Structure 1
């Protein structure tokens, strides 16, 4: 299966246009797939991974966080499969460039036409890859070892009204490129290495490249689940691992964090992982990604051979029954495996390797990747020890390549691709758009070094109290961060040097959130100097505390209810949602205590309003309360709170979902908030669409009051703001790309409203026959080019409002204006 653009980048027209432009300069094939080893604590995942990869079974410890390695699979002479680790430090630049050259030949193009490609392949990056030529290279480029003088730089920025400073203490070698001319002189050794590899590979009849397996061993502690959703991928094969010797009703206790896993059983965690995989990266029909059930501890199953076989068969059947009647069953591969990790000759392991390889051959999507990216990827991987690079430094690295990407947007596209792939971590959003994390595991390591720090705190009275607050109140103090990241064993990891940048990345991932308070004088939120780790929140809310806060105040007429089909993942989503809420608004306190629990978060939206978010089993509920008892809830705040909440939750699920028209991971319902419900809302819920049926509707509980449906819907789904409040903002390609997602059926009518001719619209349709999103994007681009400086957001919105039959997602337009997500 081959395609040019990764699924994750395809929904963005601007990105797609950049990608297709980059491919014109030459391509290479990316044939890789992840093997994600998942499951709960103490199920044998790490032992299984070691056996799978043929590693020695010594010093087996539970994985804290995620362990990552890259391998190729080889078929041995006896027909079995084995894995060989790819060392990123060696980075086979010659081999990859040879593959690029061969792909050109097999495309039927003449070698003489590929001189530019050959020039590219023998560039400075190839020179640097030839270790035997190091001395000669030093003479040619005037190589000298840079000074390692410490320096500090700050970056001041503002997000959601909050001032943020990212500080990084680095060496000057990190931010300075030696002023040398670009290497253009190539040695005989370089030409010989490339030519020899080229002839050797082209002499083989089969030029099919090998699939690279990125093996990710996920830590099973429930405490790390907050980080795992970051690394889900559809381009993966999942091994769902469990202990066959334990009953499915067995309560799993995490020995390191016994209070975190609660009374959750084996059955619960199996459902959690299946629901998580499907919800975050699964196709609608559940056909992708594939999940292989792997039972470990086969040696502990009791009975004779026949009894053991019957037990194992029934165990796997019972697991499959958990998903009967759902699309989750479609994810499961028909072959299941019972493994004895203690037996190096267990034939089931050999069959598992073979099955993984065959699935990879069937499922791996071979992507076309711009060949010019090879050099920058190599240069960045050579600096993995630096942990984090600034964008300024990356641009300087790129400029030193003989064939640089040059354009900032092209470099960002390269980084976005590798972010999706899991190579680097990059967000094109302030305040972290200026930095790239060179290894995603680095973020997990930074987080887990804090969470697993109890043994370092036991001898320090001050830290013991801080640790206790973290475990009981989810309160993360900076002194604990600094002490842990400054430990001798962490110094080489540079956690402390990159403290502010790492905290910004963890905040962006919704793993932690800075605690803030609402300043009544300035009417803004200000930081308190510590962080909340929502996944560590334990206590559930007490109804009396919320009732005390709500007493005498007016709520919105209805509570918005987001009802999820897969309830095991809702707690994880709610924790990440809380982190996003607290990154934008401050927490509300009553009697000196924050209204913040594992199932409740109340935030201060403005001077007059507070927003309430609650989690109940399979739902997340939103409500608004007026802080002035005599005043009703204002629609603008309710509408903003709803849109922000939906955008965050959709974003958590939306990794691959933008291509699905009208996708929503939940159904929208409501509860009646009449005072007769005593502040709890009605027991029953109704679909939000029932508010459209008539002006007055009955209470969902059929109590002796009615509900004004028009007013109830207007509170949460307020009309679009007046034209004079829409900014007179000149449109660029990125903004147009975002707006394109909000326009649907009858888009051609908008084109005519914008004075595009029928012929121009026909040409756009012919250029992009199978992609409506690209048609809309290029229609808007054509208008912008025609109107130049007069093509502004307010003018476009007015044109959209002039087209009553045009399908517009107005929530999306409002989110763009308000800068939400």
Structure 2
């Protein structure tokens, strides 16, 4: 086989080959102190010691066998990711090379890196010792520098056109062909430097484990990283089944997961054999912890655990119960490893039933993966134009449609983050984005504040007001965020983690107020909201309540609605008992000015169990009719938009 044919075989493989992807996204959520981090340590086979609270979100990459259930998860470091990516191409490449061989002239694989017969290195420039044998056919498989056609200077060339749906793909020029051959040659040479065991025929799965912090401040940032294509472990303390707050937080997580349900899609799937009539995706595994803290006889422990889990699920709707696949009752300190091995094996079995399991994945996508891994080492975020150029400059270029599919697939499993309505940037490092959120919305015990702005930081934690000085503090201390401050804030606004309200333009207003952070508004109204605004029968006409009733009220919908109204109307202000002006923005209610100049007409929005209700207040002698119609249309449209948003 000639050298050029070998490189062309590689290019052909990239163009037409595919692999079966086995990616598992595992998200661990639960109340602070429930034992999530301890559980993860036990699942990794680590000692349950030196457990510290998770600050934000911690992401781990894990390798586990997909063919034989050995119950082992191996936490991987950054170096493995690069080696594993090369291995995925090398295995396919070697197989193609072997298939090209004949009986008379077999093709020896230069990719058998781990030939275990040692020999002394004949390279005198290196230290003596044993090395793996150099593959005999390496020079015939890889085009050497002397054989590569001289590179063409492309500095003066215009950027190659990117194919769009309305364009016809331009014909491949000889210059582009030469560049592809050069790229392919460099790819093969790079891959050969990695020690890849291609004799290992086991099937492996890559597991991305997300450990979500249990502090309440973080809950509304987590929604950014939730998705339908995940397995969720909901961790809850068995000995807190009678605690209302613990039950409310359990409900919050079940509600949040249910927002991403795929009932209609699953019903229409042809592969219906993988699910029962009661299954609803994404799947949930409930892990009840602190079993050792229950006071009961040993022989009654399982019954007591089950009874307590049933208390948590008392108010969960029948639809939501369809997510639950399994329940485990454990002690992170006393149970032996076999308990956690069973959990690992069952999670892998659940993963096999996910729609993303063994999904055909074009091999040409791997070349882009490899280049983005290199970029990620120095840049956690890149522009869409840059990734477009990288995709086009690959040995087998990706057109716009292929790039879109690449980004969609990796966004679904949150290997990267790219929102269609914020298309300018692609976030390569999801941990970086989580860390950026953490700098603004963080539990008080983790905060790092400046003394000069301490009062404004305190206002953030008490009233949810985010001043520009506080933002400056945050981004001044974190240089790797400051360059992309705008995009980070845009993502946070998209998910209503922060909202930019329209405030009064009166003299003395908070000119430096940038945002409100709904999840950090701790206090409820100090007193009755009608009293705050002097709403009485003599001064004001109140409309009847217009109610939006939900069979299932998504937990973050109220934030979304308040944020949308804040962008359309001015948030109303009232005078506190301490004679201070304050905006009427609270955790589950808000008041807006429908008439900015006269301030005689206001809108009151309030959340109740399974209800969002609105009421119009009209002060003064003149009453304006027909207000409900356009407000109803606006609120209805925002509710519909939220459904598509998630």
Fold similarity call, TM over 0.5? yes
What is the aligned partner in structure 2 of residue 62 from structure 1?
53
What displacement does 1:392 show? 2.5
What is the aligned partner in structure 2 of residue 511 from structure 1?
497
What displacement does 1:314 show? 3.3
Which of residues 565, 571, 574 is equivalent to 2:558?
A: 574
Answering whether residue 572 of structure 2 is matched by residue 588 of structure 1, we say: yes
The alpha-carbon distance between structure 1 residues 453 and 242, as it changes in their structure 2 partners (threshold 3 A), is closer
Q: Where do 5+ consecutive residues of structure 2 fail to align?
A: 1-13, 102-110, 112-137, 152-177, 265-277, 576-580
What is the aligned partner in structure 2 of residue 411 from structure 1?
403
What displacement does 1:473 show? 1.1
2:449 and 2:397 map into 1 onto residues whose CA distance is: 53
The alpha-carbon distance between structure 1 residues 286 and 630, as it changes in their structure 2 partners (threshold 3 A), is same
Contact 2:58 2:212 in 1 (8 A): yes
What displacement does 1:59 show? 2.7
Contact 1:290 1:332 in 2 (8 A): yes
Where do residues 243-642 of structure 1 align in structure 2 (5 Å cutoff)? 243-244=237-238, 246-250=239-243, 264-281=244-261, 283=263, 286-302=279-295, 304-319=297-312, 323=316, 326-333=318-325, 335-343=326-334, 345-363=336-354, 365-366=356-357, 367-384=359-376, 385-407=378-400, 410-429=402-421, 432-452=422-442, 454=444, 460-487=450-477, 490-491=478-479, 494-517=480-503, 529-541=513-525, 542-545=528-531, 548=534, 559-566=545-552, 569-570=554-555, 572-591=556-575, 592-604=581-593, 611-624=603-616, 629-634=622-627, 637-638=630-631, 640-642=633-635
Answering whether residue 14 of structure 2 is matched by residue 30 of structure 1, we say: no
What displacement does 1:623 show? 4.2
Where do residues 786-805 of structure 1 align in structure 2 (5 Å cutoff)? none
What is the aligned partner in structure 2 of residue 681 from structure 1?
none
2:608 and 2:241 map into 1 onto residues whose CA distance is: 25
Q: What are the Cα deviations for residues 391-418 of structure 1, in whole angstroms up to 9, with x where unaligned?
A: 22222322321222243x5434432332
1:502 counterpart SS class: helix
1:104 and 1:622 map into 2 onto residues whose CA distance is: 66
Where do residues 67-216 of structure 1 align in structure 2 (5 Å cutoff)? 67-74=58-65, 80-89=70-79, 90-91=81-82, 92-98=84-90, 184=182, 190=188, 200=198, 209-216=203-210
Contact 1:243 1:295 in 2 (8 A): yes
1:342 counterpart SS class: coil
Q: What are the Cα deviations for residues 44-73 of structure 1, in whole angstroms up to 9, with x where unaligned?
A: 001101110223434311112221122222
What displacement does 1:636 show? 6.9
What displacement does 1:25 show? 5.5
Contact 1:603 1:610 in 2 (8 A): yes
Q: Which moved more, 1:63-72 or 1:217-226?
A: 63-72
What is the aligned partner in structure 1 of residue 213 from structure 2?
219
The alpha-carbon distance between structure 1 residues 195 and 290, as it changes in their structure 2 partners (threshold 3 A), is same
1:513 counterpart SS class: coil
The alpha-carbon distance between structure 1 residues 593 and 192, as it changes in their structure 2 partners (threshold 3 A), is closer
What displacement does 1:242 show? 1.7
What displacement does 1:213 show? 1.7
1:342 and 1:271 map into 2 onto residues whose CA distance is: 26
**Which structure exhibits the higher relative contact order, with contacts defined as CA atoms closer than 8 Å and separated by 6 or more residues?**
2
Answering whether residue 231 of structure 2 is matched by residue 237 of structure 1, we say: yes
Contact 2:33 2:214 in 1 (8 A): yes
What is the aligned partner in structure 2 of residue 651 from structure 1?
644
Contact 2:497 2:518 in 1 (8 A): yes
Q: Where do 5+ consecutive residues of structure 1 fail to align?
A: 1-22, 113-121, 123-131, 144-179, 251-263, 521-525, 656-821
2:191 and 2:368 map into 1 onto residues whose CA distance is: 21
The alpha-carbon distance between structure 1 residues 352 and 483, as it changes in their structure 2 partners (threshold 3 A), is same
Contact 1:27 1:369 in 2 (8 A): yes
Return the TM-score normalized by structure 1: 0.57
What displacement does 1:538 show? 2.8
2:21 and 2:230 map into 1 onto residues whose CA distance is: 14
Contact 1:232 1:281 in 2 (8 A): no
Matched positions, count: 538
1:627 and 1:271 map into 2 onto residues whose CA distance is: 40
1:302 and 1:452 map into 2 onto residues whose CA distance is: 35
Contact 1:514 1:528 in 2 (8 A): no
Contact 1:605 1:637 in 2 (8 A): no
Q: What are the Cα deviations for residues 355-412 of structure 1, in whole angstroms up to 9, with x where unaligned?
A: 11222223353323343322223222222231221222222322321222243x5434
What is the aligned partner in structure 2 of residue 147 from structure 1?
none
What is the aligned partner in structure 1 of residue 165 from structure 2?
none
2:234 counterpart SS class: strand
1:141 and 1:585 map into 2 onto residues whose CA distance is: 65
- What is the CA RMSD across the aligned residues, in angstroms? 4.4
Q: What are the Cα deviations for residues 653-692 of structure 1, in whole angstroms up to 9, with x where unaligned?
A: xx4xxxxxxxxxxxxxxxxxxxxxxxxxxxxxxxxxxxxx
Contact 2:466 2:513 in 1 (8 A): no
Contact 2:260 2:282 in 1 (8 A): no
1:75 and 1:393 map into 2 onto residues whose CA distance is: 35
1:506 and 1:597 map into 2 onto residues whose CA distance is: 19
1:140 and 1:41 map into 2 onto residues whose CA distance is: 60
The alpha-carbon distance between structure 1 residues 189 and 275, as it changes in their structure 2 partners (threshold 3 A), is closer
Q: Which moved more, 1:530-539 or 1:393-402?
A: 393-402
The alpha-carbon distance between structure 1 residues 560 and 100, as it changes in their structure 2 partners (threshold 3 A), is farther
What is the aligned partner in structure 1 of residue 175 from structure 2?
none
1:415 and 1:96 map into 2 onto residues whose CA distance is: 19
What displacement does 1:234 show? 2.7
Contact 2:183 2:394 in 1 (8 A): no
Contact 2:468 2:512 in 1 (8 A): no
The alpha-carbon distance between structure 1 residues 298 and 602, as it changes in their structure 2 partners (threshold 3 A), is same
